[in-house]
Structure 1
Amino acid sequence: MSERTGWDRRLRVRADGRRLVGHARAVLLRRCADRVGLTGVLADVLPMGAGHGWRDRGVVVVQLAVAIVLGATNLTEAAQLGLHQSGLSGPAASDSTVRRALLGLDDTALTLIAKARRTVRRHVWSQLHLRPGGFPRLSVAGRCLRDWVVIDMAATIITAASKKERAAATFKGTFGFHPLATWCANTAERLAMELRPGNAGANTVADHLRVLTCALAQIPYSSAAKLLIRVDGAGATHGLLEHLVALNTKRRTVRFSVGWKITDEDEKAIAKLPEHAWETSLKQDGSPQAGYFVAELTGVNTREGWPEGTRLIVRRVRLSGRQLKKLTDFEQKTGWCYSITATNIGRMWGVAGSHQVQFLDALHRDHAEVEDRVRTNKALGLHHLPSKSFAVNQGWMGPPRTSPQTWTPGSASWACTTSTTWPTPNRTPCACASTTCRPASRNTPAIGGSASRPPGPGRPRSPPAGTGSPTFRPLPDNRLPPRRRPERSRPHHPPGDVEPRRSRSVTRRPTPNTPGHYGRTTAPINDRPR
């Protein structure tokens, strides 16, 4: 039970089937936030007031997060969905209250919220380690990355239909924002995100370092011994790679895998590779991938100035129609399309064959799953920034979206990972994205009834309507109970009697002398010529 809110007091599961309510799975999200302590720590760090009608800011933020999962795209819809859940989780906050709460999130408040999230995440991850399957682990090319925490970094474009504060033209020819974020691939959580203007650079070193620092601060110390950072081609900068190499200590090992922009020197080095140097690529299950080849380019390429120990892995595939417009002269001549990955992985402790080029190529290609995280975040509110104010949009994107990370890739992040029925210890169910999590939370019905007093002397009584906490029972197969057609009541006639025949009434059309006539003359029915 939540001692601060008390909304789940005497909440039980019953099968009386008295009332039917929607959004039954919202109870899981709200209880998860309360049970892990997130609601309490947010209320402690956010501003507090003592006036009449003051709403607890921690509860307001969590209720907003639940409303976003249920489908809210603006503050008004969030308030309406909160009213729908008011019979269960208590009075809902109005849209003006939510706006004031988001406007109050300055830099100091965001820093305190980040510390609160780190405290809660340390508690949740400690519970994950105690599960029968242990902490979620990645499986790449048929090999399990034991005790490795993988962080994916990517940027995306958010279009704005109206003029918003700090919105600008993007490099794709659109208008909006260019946020940069990091996700934990093990648990599918979003660790940090920064809302940047649309004209922000894709490979700006300062932005990458700032977001990466916030993400590393969210990882508990007990899980930060072995880290793998994966970035696309925007991460191939001197400043970022040198910073990642400098993070290595005696107690922490940091490895990176980033994309690489091919230059003329790289193409000359690829042309020097003999045919027997190319090896067949591997799929994510470890089976060979026919028609795709990889090779080591480290000893052939002589580019200097990069961190010591950096390896270059080149991959080639046959040309496709969507690549014809971006081919270089060298690729058109050879008939192959090339891509290069830069990494400092010599060997990964506990992973057999981690030094092989096939494994390193599959490891970086697994970074493509970050696009699922981006799509899920956009479907769960990131694509609909609700206000013209940058502070409100940053608050909408920040604490509500990261309140427990159950809101991002569905309740699979914290709500399902803390359960003992995890599907597999090697892979997080990342597919629980916008196409599965959000409709299920929004449309799953349940039977609700008022919670009665515990068994004891006296007759059990139910609270008045609207004051009791409904209890829920999921329906089988997520379907509604069949509706019964109301039977028509027909007049009863004694046996032998004949039901009187109904007389058909004739309605006369309006005549010129009657009101409502519009100039059309109609004779009575009995006077019409036959």
Structure 2
Amino acid sequence: MSDPTAWSRDLTAEVDGHGIVNHAGSAVLRLLADNLGLTRRISTALRRRHFTPTHDRGRVLTDTAVMITDGGRVLADLATLRDQAELFGPIASDSTLRRALTEIDPLTADRITTARAAVRRSAWQLIAARHGAIPASPVADRDLGRQIVIRLDATMIPAHSDKEGAAANFKGYGHHPLTAFCDNTGEALAIELRPGTASSNTARDHIDLLDTSIAQVPWPHRRNLLITTVGAGATHDFLDHLHEVASRRGQHLEYSIGWELGDREQETIKRVPGDAWQHVIDAHGKARDLGDAGVVELTGLLRHSAGGDRLALWPAGMRVICRRERPGSGAQLSLLEEADGWRYSLFATNTPVRQPGRQLDFLEARHRVHARVEDRIRCAKSTGLGHLPSKSMQVNASWCLAAAIAIDLLCWLRLLCLTGALADAEPKTLRYRLLHTAVRLVRGQRRRRIKIPRTWPWADALAACFTLALALAPPG
């Protein structure tokens, strides 16, 4: 009988390798940043008069983004690239990286944001050329076609008390950033780092984030938008701003925003006839039993109630829609919900009544998939956003900007270089299968060649990534 532990009997270890490069797959992301023009544009945005740094600041920031996509969590993790100089060339030191992040003030950050928008135009042109169009946002058994969906949500980043801006709120202790993701592509359009004391329903923060994220959507795609967020965004000023943007010439903007179940809404729900509830559709587009869930519009009852128009101060085109379902065990319920055995959730939208393909069941399903933003945030937290490396708020804000670039690079990798299951893979899977691959670097005829082990299960996929990334022509 063979010994199952015999494989290690003749095994030794020593530090004497030559020509071996680890984490070589991350070079694909560096190629994407360079060949899409991101490195050059950020370099221009960070350029200062009478100052010529040893390490170009655009190179430093894009290298930081590549390090974050590779799984880096602190500034010292840049050594992963720096120690692979045979492939990546000269890389900034930790102290240079800290200085570079410190130099990014709000004005400089705005210039970087403008540079990202310009690069996104080039990236979307290539994505549309490869896939025929920008991917559609799926809803139930259908999709939203050419409509671009921007999902806004807040999250909590745990932090120690010695970090600037860290504080306690209802979600925990740390920082409380706002995020905006493009549901079609998964890109991080904007990440706004805020102190832990920042409120979830701060209208000014939502308005700034919305304007920044819309500016990131390439023209003419931004002419047909859907904005979604949870109830924290349902403030007068934010909804008024949405209607103002929607009224601009050539702009079609819809929204779907969570709405609070207040006293007036609870009173209105009590007046809804039993036969007014309509079917809710599941993720496959099938109607659910009315005994399990239902949806109804409350706009008419709220505007024409016995107590007068209860939506008089809100925009005229706004509709309020209510969903009910049987509550799960342990759910926190209001007195009304405990009394009638239903759990209610409401949302507001400006989608017109009886618009083709926009009935109540579909509008409810369209709002329900806003929960996908939680997956975007979860993946973002594994791509730099889950840990802020510095005590300085400014350095951490710059880190969040680098994390947003890192998220974009991973999205462009999936959409421009990958197929099959890898095109839908999460960051940890991509690191394990592609980014962390060790290769042999061979020199000859004034060229460097990457030799990927034939036995690596994803060798062909990684080779294809390099081929496609190298073939991208830098924009003029």
| 1:393 match: secondary structure | helix
Match of 1:310 among 295, 300, 318: 318
Cα distance, 1:157–1:132 mapped onto 2, change above 3 Å: closer
The one of 369, 372, 385 aligned to 2:372: 369
Stretch of structure 1 that moved more, 21-30 or 144-153: 21-30
Counterpart CA distance in 1 for 2:283 and 2:195 is: 36
Mapped to 1, the partners of 2:287 and 2:412 lie a distance apart of 35
Structure 1 residues 474 and 40, CA, compared in 2 at 3 Å: closer, same or farther?
A: farther
| Distance in 1, Cα, partners of 2:392 & 2:437 | 34
Q: Is the 8 A contact 2:193 2:397 kept in 1?
A: yes
Q: 1:405 to 1:286 in 2, by over 3 A?
A: same
Q: Distance in 2 between matches of 1:51 and 1:138?
A: 45
Q: Any unmatched runs of 5+ in structure 1?
A: 1-17, 455-467, 481-530
Is the aligned partner of 1:478 residue 2:448? no
Measure, in 2, the Cα distance between the counterparts of 1:283 and 1:193: 31
- Counterpart in the other structure of 1:327: 333
Q: CA deviation at 1:206?
A: 0.7
Aligned position for 1:448: 440
Contact preservation (8 Å) 2:151, 2:229: yes
Provide the rounded CA distance (Å) in 2 between the counterparts of 1:479 and 1:229. 38
SS at match of 1:24: coil
Shift of 1:440: 3.2
* Secondary structure of 2:180 counterpart: strand
**Partner of residue 299, structure 1:** 300
Quick check: 1:342 aligned with 2:340? no
What is the match of residue 494 of structure 1? none
In the alignment, which of 369, 393, 397 is matched to residue 394 of structure 1? 397
* Off by >6 Å, runs of 4+ in structure 1: 49-53
Shift of residue 478 of structure 1?
3.2
Residue 437 in structure 1 maps to residue 430 in structure 2: yes
Q: 1:31 to 1:96 in 2, by over 3 A?
A: same
Structure 2 spans left out of the alignment, 5+ residues: 1-17, 304-309, 460-476
Match runs of 1:47-446 below 5 Å = 47=47, 54-78=54-78, 80-172=79-171, 174-248=172-246, 249-290=248-289, 291-302=292-303, 303-304=310-311, 305-323=313-331, 326-346=332-352, 352-354=356-358, 356-398=359-401, 400-403=402-405, 405-407=407-409, 411=410, 413-419=411-417, 432-445=425-438
User: Share of identical aligned residues, percent?
Assistant: 37
- CA pair 132-187 structure 1, distance change in 2 beyond 3 A: closer
The alignment partner of 1:293 has SS state of strand
**In 2, Cα distance between equivalents of 1:106 and 1:72:** 23
User: Bigger CA drift: 195-204 or 127-136?
Assistant: 127-136
Residue pair 1:128, 1:417 contacting (<8 A) in 2 also? yes
Deviation at 1:471, TM superposition (A): 1.1
Q: Is contact 1:141-1:286 (8 Å) kept?
A: yes
* Letter paired with 1:327: L
For each residue in 1:57-111, what CA deviation from the matched residue of structure 2 results, as whole angstroms up to 9, or x when unmatched? 1111111111112222111122x21223321010121100100100110122111
> Contact (CA 8 Å) 2:68, 2:406: kept in 1 or not?
no
> SS of the counterpart of 1:377?
helix
Partner of 1:506: none
Change (3 A) 1:292 1:477: farther
Contact 2:191 2:404 in 1 (8 A): no
Amino acid of the residue matched to residue 299 of structure 2?
A: T
The answer to whether the 8 A contact 1:71-1:442 is kept is no
1:442 Cα deviation from its structure 2 partner = 4.6
| Contact 2:45–2:112 (8 Å) recurs in 1 | yes
Q: Aligned with 1:210: secondary structure?
A: helix
Q: Which structure would you say has the larger Rg? A: 1
Once superposed, what is the RMSD of the aligned Cα atoms?
2.5
In structure 2, the CA distance between the partners of 1:422 and 1:300, relative to structure 1 (3 Å rule), is farther
TM-aligned CA distance change 1:384 to 1:107, over 3 Å: same
Report the 3-state secondary structure (helix = DSSP H, G, I; strand = E; otherwise coil) of the residue aligned with 2:283: coil
**Contact 2:433–2:458 (8 Å) recurs in 1:** no
Tell me the TM-score normalized by structure 1. 0.77
Question: In 2, distance between residues paired with 1:217 and 1:449?
Answer: 41
1:36 aligned residue: 36
**Counterparts in 2 of 1:242 and 1:48: CA distance versus 1, 3 Å:** closer
Kindly provide the CA deviation profile for residues 332-387 of structure 1, in whole angstroms up to 9, marking residues without a partner as x.
111111111111111698xx521x11000100111100001111111111121111
Q: Which amino acid aligns with 2:134?
A: F
Q: Which amino acid in the other structure matches residue 113 of structure 1? A: I
Indicate the SS of the match to 1:122.
Answer: helix
C-alpha contact 1:169 1:199 (8 A) present in aligned 2? yes
Give the secondary-structure state (helix, strand or coil) at the position aligned to 2:250.
coil
Q: 1:90 to 1:241 in 2, by over 3 A?
A: same
What secondary structure sits across from 1:279 in the alignment?
Answer: coil
DSSP 3-state at the match of 1:439:
helix
In 1, the alpha carbon distance for the partners of 2:397 and 2:372 equals 25
Q: Which residue of 2 aligns with 1:3?
A: none
Secondary structure of 2:299's counterpart equals: coil
Contact 1:87 1:469 in 2 (8 A): no
Distance 1:474 1:345, change over 3 A: farther
Q: 1:230 to 1:255 in 2, by over 3 A?
A: same
- Answering whether residue 25 of structure 2 is matched by residue 25 of structure 1, we say yes
Residue 75 to residue 145, structure 1, CA distance change in 2 (3 Å): same
Cα shift at 1:473: 2.4
Change in 2 beyond 3 A, CA 1:67/1:441: farther
Q: Number of residue pairs matched?
A: 433
Q: Which has the higher helix share?
A: 2
SS in 2 for 1:72: coil
Report how far residue 414 of structure 1 moved. 1.2
Q: Secondary structure at the match of 1:131?
A: helix
| Alpha carbons 2:21, 2:441 under 8 Å: kept | no
